[in-house]
Amino acid sequence: MVNLNLFTTYRMKLYAIPYAGGHSLVYRNLSTALSPQIILQPLELPGRGKRAKEDLKHDIHDITEDLFQIIREDLTNNTRYAIFGHSMGSLLGYLLTVRIMEEGLPMPSHLFCSGHSAPSVPKIDLVKDAPKYAASSEEFWAYIDSLGALPPELKEHQELMNYFEPIIRADIQALEKYEYQELKQALNVSIDVFYGIDDTETPVYGLFPWQNETKHMVQFIPNEGGHFGLFTSLERVSKHIKQTLLASEEQRK
């Protein structure tokens, strides 16, 4: 049982990486649930939100490097931290952790992944399947809508859809063109994987190979709903994250 009173003044950062097309505000409710012990630090991807004037990136490794440069100074200051991402954010969180390992910098205390198959499981077979990022506008939005990621109010504003379409396409392209490279050594980082029990985009069989990426036992945590079911289970998810991180800090003392 974790004694939360020991951590009322403790500060740990949780870097949060958004899903495809998302921006830094998508986890604002998660921030409220975690504080004051855990400080949520949303990471903004180029081409949206506070960085809307910057060019979009279409390569997952370029996006990873961008994020790495954002947090690098914190890591050299030995900031205690963990990483969380949903959907595309999960893959970016994994690749960011690999990048940190390559640089020999302090590793995250935990990696929380949500709504994404293991990195070794291809998003799409580009030899057999037509890439979704190159689909017609109608087909593209039908796919996005099937994920439960298209709010009704957005459908009513064509200008907004025109604004977001190139952003989401760039992210989907980065995901679909990603090619897995097996690690020479597994990560020495604990990984927890959240998934929606009705998520057709992320089938359960695609989750199990996450175990190959870490030396620790992966914990798989189901949530109600589909691909974005996470956001109707934020209270439960945030409780798990908070308890996990505070318990790990207690063990270090």
* Pairwise CA distance, residues 207 & 117, whole Å: 5
What is the SS3 assignment for 84?
A: strand
pLDDT tens digit sequence for 10-36: 578 999 999 999 999 999 888 777 878
Tokens of 52: 């809307």
Q: Is the pTM of this model over 0.75?
A: yes
ω into 36 cis (within 30 of 0) = yes
Helices (H), the chain: 28-34, 60-76, 88-103, 137-146, 152-155, 158-176, 234-252
* Pairwise CA distance, residues 45 & 68, whole Å: 11
Q: What is the CATH number of the domain that holds 144?
A: 3.40.50.1820
pLDDT tens digit sequence for 222-232: 999 998 888 88
What is the span of the domain harbouring residue 121?
4-252
* Pairwise CA distance, residues 109 & 58, whole Å: 29
pLDDT tens digit sequence for 116-155: 999 999 988 777 888 999 999 999 999 998 888 777 777 7
What's the total number of domains in the chain? 1
∠216-196-240 over CA atoms, to 5°? 50
* Pairwise CA distance, residues 203 & 200, whole Å: 6
